[in-house]
Amino acid sequence: MSEDQKSKNLKDDQLKQFRVEDEGKELTTNQGLKVSEDEFSLKAGERGPTIMEDFHFREKMTHFDHERIPERIVHARGFAAHGEFEVYESMKKYTKAGFLQDPGKKTPTFVRFSTVAGSRGSAETVRDARGFSTKFYTEEGNYDLVGNNIPVFFIQDAIKFPDLVHALKPEPHNEMPQAASAHDTFWDFVANNQESAHMVMWAMSDRAIPRSFRMMEGFGVHTFRFVNEEGKAHFVKFHWKPVLGTHSLVWDEAQKINGKDPDFHRRDLWESIENDDYPEYELGVQLLAEEDEFAFDFDILDATKLWPEEDIPVKIIGKLTLNRNVDNVFAETEQVAFHPGHVVPGIDFSNDPLLQGRLFSYTDTQLLRLGGPNFHELPINRPVCPFHNNQRDGFGRQTINKGQVSYHKNSLARNTPMPVDPSQGGYEHYQEKMEGRKVRKRSDSFKDHFSQATLFWNSMSKPEKEHIKEAFSFELGKVKNESVRQQVVDMFANVSLELATTFAEAIGATPPQGEGSKVTKSSPALSQENTKKKPDTRKVGVIMADGFDDKEVKVVMDKLKSEGMQPEIISSKLGMIKGSEGNELEADHTFLTCDSVLFDAFYVVGGKDISKKFKRETTYFIEEAFDHFKPIGATHDGVEWLKDLAIMESPGVVSGKDMDKFATEFVKAVSAHRHWEREIG
């Protein structure tokens, strides 16, 4: 086996010793004692009280009582997968991080996606930021890139994080609303903490309702440092670029999915990996020489600011592939412990005050959630390289340390474990020169809260701007306090007078006065209209009944599959559907067990044996898909149904009798994802 293959399998091999197959095995206690009875507790007589001597009952019940650990305060609702990372070219010029040196070398990874605001039981397609956290199991130790799908954040200093979360979470007097920012306390926080303006623009955009985890970007948010072997540093920001492009839901669709399938995003990720449609993301970095730290009209350490890609290009340096689902959600997804302070030589921090606070907070959180200081020993968190130190004991200790010495310095163990010189791989903090008085202040360079919020607005396409207007109107329409609504209107007049005026009218507030922002700059990279558009893995609902033209429909179905799409048959009943020439296809869904919002596109075939109910249900599916700007195709009997709905000439609606030509045009329509011309036409 090659060294690369050994590296690729290292984490997987390590986890194998913890995997247990229970099927066909004898029942035992946790200590391995075989159990003769598991139906009845030990009693003093058949009708008597249970006695304390019943160690099996106590062990079983105690474990059950402790099966749930405290959920994360934020990012509680998450799902994860294993994968591998491969760098495209050596980054030796910029960093000595080992996993970024050798093209072709596979580094095991574990990635957790999550919503921020909701509890573990909340739905997944809510309007919210999404966590995108990656653990790299490198040979130099674990490196955690703990990010979001939005490149900026609400606040500039970590001391305000408890305030933000308290305002965003359900209001404490009635514990409502769940997983939603459309309420008074959140918008009161926004209006009175105006550094949040830029992040709020992203949160009100389509970025906050992604189509899937596979189709959203990831960002490290903060400014970090790369440091090379010579000690030279560059500031760096991290980006994950999805190979399938960046795509979103529409708001009405997202709300309905929450009811139809609250597990929509995790199901999508799980099924994609099970189908071998492995999610892929390219890692990009923005690099900035230290001498250019003050070359821009924003502070590069301000977490409410992004680095425009047109000014500081994103260099694509590697690919992440998610290729294995978890074996157990609790043991892996829930117990994984991410921390931005888990770094390797060659990666260091900046003085971003939000990042500095996170370096404390994450350790403190894991101590509570995972029961003590040994969370690093849980299988999912264990590094693949050996670890040796003088930390001992504590809850959940798994390592059995031999010997009498557990301190540094010592002579009894020849002063081991010993520190490692930086030239031999020991971590050394970047020697940044620092000076100044101890103050509770913020740099004046952090005071501009609106320019980049306007940059984001200027960068949006017309449909995206309309969606942002609707989002503000919806969210603030849920706010009861008139003063808060007016404060938000006045605040966002500094971003865009057009935007603020539109939602002011919708929520009964006084339209703002003034000239609005003077910022005219835009960044095309921020608009999803400029993303990759591919048909790969798109889920197409194929509506058909008995008597369909099986020969011609097969041509279309084969074409969809060859383009990487996933056609799934919908009919009035499960089982086999018989075509006109006797061939059969199996229905995957009924109208009752699925819904229009769960598909990316529809292909309407029909059939000879159609009831009024079948046509009525088809009509409902197609009308809703049309309202959500989705591609719709029809052949055979389906063409007449689309004519009845008067949508045949609409953008993204494809029909025809030539099956090859129809299939080609339909694939093109699906590739576009949405057909916004229906909205603006």
pLDDT tens-digit map of 60-73: 777 777 878 899 99
Contact 250, 629 (CB under 8 A): yes
Angle at 82 between CA 80 and CA 86, to 5 degrees: 125
Specify the pairing of strand 539-544 against strand 315-325.
unpaired
Give the per-residue pLDDT at 517.
95
Residue with the bigger pLDDT between 441 and 256: it is: 256
Which pLDDT band holds residue 510 (cuts at 50, 70, 90)? very high
10 has pLDDT over 80: no
- What is the spatial distance between Cα 62 and Cα 55, in angstroms, rounded to a whole number? 10
Which pLDDT band holds residue 527 (cuts at 50, 70, 90)? very high
Find the mean pLDDT for residues 229-234.
96
Is residue 75 among the annotated active site residues?
A: yes
Give me the chain's average pLDDT, please.
93
Contact 334, 72 (CB under 8 A): no
Packed helices 482-492 and 497-507: angle between N→C axes, nearest 10 degrees: 160
Specify the pairing of strand 566-571 against strand 589-590.
parallel
Tokens of 512: 């703002």
H helix and E strand count, the chain: 17, 18
Percent of the chain scoring above 90 in pLDDT:
74
Any idea which residue has 């070359």 for tokens?
295
Least confident of 50-54, 68-72, 149-153: 50-54
Tokens of 355: 């990042």
Q: What's the pLDDT tens digit per position in 98-125?
A: 999 999 899 999 999 999 999 999 999 9
Angle at 111 between CA 256 and CA 670, to 5 degrees: 45
355 has pLDDT over 80: yes
Q: What's the pLDDT tens digit per position in 127-139?
A: 999 999 999 999 9
Which pLDDT band holds residue 390 (cuts at 50, 70, 90)? confident
Give the per-residue pLDDT at 299.
96
1 has pLDDT over 80: no
Who contacts 405 (Cβ-Cβ below 8 Å, separation ≥6)?
A: 390, 412, 413
Any idea which residue has 């540093």 for tokens?
233
Among 487, 530, 453, CA closest to 191: 487
Is residue 258 among the annotated active site residues?
A: no
Which pLDDT band holds residue 260 (cuts at 50, 70, 90)? very high
- What is the spatial distance between Cα 57 and Cα 41, in angstroms, rounded to a whole number? 6
Task: Assign 596 to helix, strand or coil.
Answer: helix
Cα dihedral: 403, 419, 351, 154 (round 10)? -30
Give the per-residue pLDDT at 3.
61
Contact 155, 193 (CB under 8 A): yes
Q: What's the pLDDT tens digit per position in 278-309?
A: 999 999 999 999 999 999 999 999 999 999 99
- What is the spatial distance between Cα 428 and Cα 414, in angstroms, rounded to a whole number? 23
475 has pLDDT over 80: yes
Task: Assign 549 to helix, strand or coil.
Answer: coil
Buried b / exposed e over 555-567, threshold 16 CB at 10 Å, is: ebbebbeebebbb
The residue annotated as part of the active site, out of 142, 148, 458, 494, is: 148
Residue 108: half-sphere exposure toward Cβ, Cα within 13 Å: 24
User: At 62, which helix (H) or strand (E)?
Assistant: helix 55-65
Give the per-residue pLDDT at 5.
64
Cα dihedral: 337, 340, 343, 347 (round 10)? 160
Q: What's the pLDDT tens digit per position in 489-500?
A: 999 999 999 999
Give the per-residue pLDDT at 275.
96
Which pLDDT band holds residue 680 (cuts at 50, 70, 90)? low
Residue with the bigger pLDDT between 437 and 185: it is: 185
Which pLDDT band holds residue 269 (cuts at 50, 70, 90)? very high
Would you give the DSSP letter of residue 207? G
681 has pLDDT over 60: no
User: At 286, which helix (H) or strand (E)?
Assistant: strand 280-289
The residue annotated as part of the active site, out of 75, 198, 339, 589, is: 75
449 has pLDDT over 60: yes
439 has pLDDT over 90: no
- The backbone torsions φ and ψ at residue 540, rounded to the nearest 5 degrees and listed phi first, read -110, 120
Packed helices 161-168 and 353-369: angle between N→C axes, nearest 10 degrees: 70
Other Cβ atoms closer than 10 A to 41: 14
Contact 82, 324 (CB under 8 A): yes
Find the mean pLDDT for residues 472-497.
98
User: At 578, which helix (H) or strand (E)?
Assistant: strand 575-578
Q: What domains sit in the chain, N to C, each tagged with a CATH number?
A: 3-65 (4.10.91.20), 78-171+193-200+207-377 (2.40.180.10), 450-529 (1.20.1370.20), 533-680 (3.40.50.880)
634 has pLDDT over 80: yes
Any idea which residue has 């130790």 for tokens?
141
Radius of gyration of the CA atoms of the chain, in A: 28
- What is the spatial distance between Cα 136 and Cα 338, in angstroms, rounded to a whole number? 10
Give the per-residue pLDDT at 26.
85
17 has pLDDT over 90: no
Q: What's the pLDDT tens digit per position in 318-335?
A: 999 999 999 999 999 999
Give the per-residue pLDDT at 13.
81
Which pLDDT band holds residue 8 (cuts at 50, 70, 90)? low
**What are the angstrom distances between the C-alpha of 494 and each of 321, 451, 454, 585?**
41, 9, 8, 58
Specify the amino acid at residue 140: E
Among 529, 535, 680, CA closest to 601: 535
Percent of the chain scoring above 70 in pLDDT:
99
Least confident of 35-44, 211-220, 339-348: 35-44
Give the per-residue pLDDT at 567.
97
144 has pLDDT over 90: yes
